[in-house]
Chains A and B, each alone.
Chain A
Amino acid sequence: MADNTGTADIQEHAGTAGEDGVRRRDFINIAAVGAAGIGGIATLVPLISQMAPSADVLAESSTEIDISAIKPGQAIKGVFRKQPVFIRNLTTEEIAKANAVDVSSLRDPQSLEERTKPGKENWLITMGVCTHLGCVPLGAGEGEVKGEFGGYYCPCHGSVYDTAARIRKGPAPKNLEVPVYEFSSDTVVKIG
């Protein structure tokens, strides 16, 4: 053997195979390195998962918003998971405009019906986070630009959303995300 793996007497003792043909040294070597390896890999679990959202961050992942003051054609910006959420009371024209579009022609095909709750089609509730790179689109605030499709317009890279907050133009790949929500009552919506 070219490698120096120990002094000659130890070499002879540990290096001889037992009756079963397994050398003691090989067994100890594989067992020790294997145990250390598994232990080392197990250490990675806490080291990696400590970076995931912590309990207090996750605890904030549900919020209740009063929508009684939002008149048709108006919208408000709420806060959900420290991100803006748009709650919009659509006018009948806006609903008609959204339904007039051929769904199959869209980049992210979805109808207004699929993006709202049954019987509450005037309430369009979406995240205020552009699906391109996360900017806050304009259009929810009073007097903000709504873009050429009457919904939302992202000033960062020019994505345009329609009255169902569906992507119509620009680099964003998807419609504005509809968060999980339910109506706690006629005037309160619980998001998350």
Chain B
Amino acid sequence: MSFPWANHYEPKHPLMQWMDEKLPLPRFVYNAIGAGYPVPRNLNYFWNFGVLAGFCLVLQIVTGVILAMHYAPNALIAFDSTEHIMRDVNWGWLMRYAHANGASAFFVVVYLHIFRGFFFGSYKAPREMIWLLGVVIFLLMMATAFMGYVLPWGQMSFWGAKVITGLFGAIPLVGEPLQQWLLGGFAPDNAALNRFFSLHFLLPFVIAAVVILHIWALHIPGSSNPTGVEVKTESDTVPFHPYYTAKDGFGLGVFLILYCAMLFFLPNALGHPDNYIPANPMATPAHIVPEWYFWPFYAILRAFTFDFLFIPAKLMGVLAMFSSILVWFFLPWLDTSPVRSGHYRPLFRKFFFFGLIPTVLVLGYCGGAPAVEPYVMISQIATAYYFLHFLVILPLVSSIERPEPLPYSITESVLGSDDNADLKPAS
């Protein structure tokens, strides 16, 4: 769908006219991310991260396919082939560092994209489906990233695989057979490594497919915007191209500067030295931690050190960790305030900046720290607040909060007045 005033695709060149009759792909692109897609005129830089996430996906697929040309998914030689890429393959070091740091960059960008959604209420009607698909993409990303980290077959790869597949062992009755089925053995070995490689290659293309659905669902209501007021007239929008292709291009430039700084000057800063030791099933590293982007969830997993009601601590931790993401699926129905943007919600804003954000940062810190006091207790308090925020505070705030007055239109919020505002009903 588009607004009635959207630009129409009119191919001028005979070849493009011929193409348009046979397969209107250029028309599709024009209407999706070209001049045919009208976008609110007031988008701020937080709206860059969707395009940046798309860029990261392409970056990961390109570097990943190249790495797969040189990597050998076999437990005997996987570690050596990774070192072969680093030392012998022409530009191999660049491809591997670009891929490893690309994963981190992807998560940075996606976390900002998600928190943009949290603050500006991007998940609210009529955009629930975009949000739900986004959560699916995030879950697929987590699975892909986890399996990718196993492939170099270093100590962290091996023990990460063991701990994470061990989570499934916590499920009552079927846990242990399920874990053996997932691994194809009693511990991570060649069978597990091979299937992780196969799935790590497949899932990014599944992600790409869900991204297409995500964008398709976005184009039905159109993009949201920082005021949360829906588009009313043509003066509220500008064509995606050239306005937001230019703005996204600038954002991409800034992103690439930061990414390249990491890639060329601190390529191992986010990695772990233990992963340069070949996998050894007989010795656990002193301190197992996942990659930084899983730390908040890892902290929630470890926060349950006591049996909860009749559920064992281990299972409770697993359930809580999965629930911490699954709760996002219910967000559109937990936050019932009709006002989308946090800019006009004084109480929501306080809980967002002083509740949710510090909690997630604290969880992230604790997830990377050893499992000793005081980190365990801090994780427990933060985990409690995390769930309280989504399940209790958001619904409660929505019902008692008195939002600030909204602008009549996007145009008014940008220019201070809107010619069409005269048409406003005298309420």
**Which A residues are within 8 Å of any B CB, using their own CB?**
48, 51-54, 57, 61, 77, 79, 81-84, 129, 132-136, 155-158, 170-173
Task: Tell me the minimal C-beta distance from B368 to chain A in angstroms.
Answer: 14
Which residues of B from 163 to 214 have beta carbons under 8 Å from A? 163, 165-167, 169, 180-187, 189, 191, 195
Q: Which of B186, B195, B312 contacts A82 (CB 8 A)?
A: B186
Q: Which residues of B contact A54 (CB under 8 A)?
A: 184, 191
Is A133 in contact with B166, judged by CB distance below 8 angstroms? yes
Q: How far is the CB of B30 from chain A (nearest CB, A)?
A: 34
Count residues on chain B whose CB falls below 8 Å from chain A CBs: 34
The answer to whether A156 and B195 have CB atoms under 8 Å apart is no
Are B185 and A82 in contact (CB-based, < 8 A)? yes
> Could you list 12 further interchain pairs (A-B, Cβ under 8 angstroms) beyond the known A81-B185, A156-B163?
A53-B185, A57-B186, A82-B189, A129-B187, A132-B314, A133-B162, A133-B163, A134-B169, A135-B163, A171-B302, A171-B314, A173-B314
CA distance in complex: A173, B200 (Å): 32
Q: Is B397 an interface residue (CB 8 A)?
A: no
Pick out which of these stretches binds chain A: B64-72, B283-291, B348-356.
B283-291
* Contact in complex: B187, A135 (CB < 8 Å): no
A157 to B305, CA, bound (A): 10
B186/A81 in contact, CB under 8 A: yes
- Decide: A84 near B282, CB < 8 A? Known: A135-B163, A172-B314: yes
Chain B residues with CB under 8 A of A53 = 180, 183-186, 191
A180 to B: closest C-beta gap in Å? 13
A-B pairs with the 3 shortest C-beta distances?
A: A81-B186, A134-B166, A135-B284
Asked if A77 meets B282 with Cβ closer than 8 Å, knowing A51-B182, A158-B372, the reply is: yes
Partner of B187, one of A48, A82, A132, A173: A82
The one of A155, A158, A173 that contacts B284, using a Cβ cutoff of 8 Å:
A155
- Pair A156/B371 contact, Cβ less than 8 Å: yes
Residues of chain A within 8 A (CB-CB) of B283 are 136
B163 and A52 within 8 A (CB): no
Within the complex, which residue of A61, A134, A170, A173 is in contact with B163, where a contact is CB–CB below 8 Å?
A134
Name the B residues within 8 Å of A158 (CB-CB). Answer: 371-372
Q: Could you tell me if B184 and A82 are in contact, using CB atoms closer than 8 angstroms?
A: no
> Taking CB as reference atom, which chain B residue is nearest A50?
B184
- Complex interface: chain A residues within 8 A of B217 (CB): none
Establish whether residues B184 and A57, one from each chain, have CB atoms under 8 Å apart when the complex forms: yes
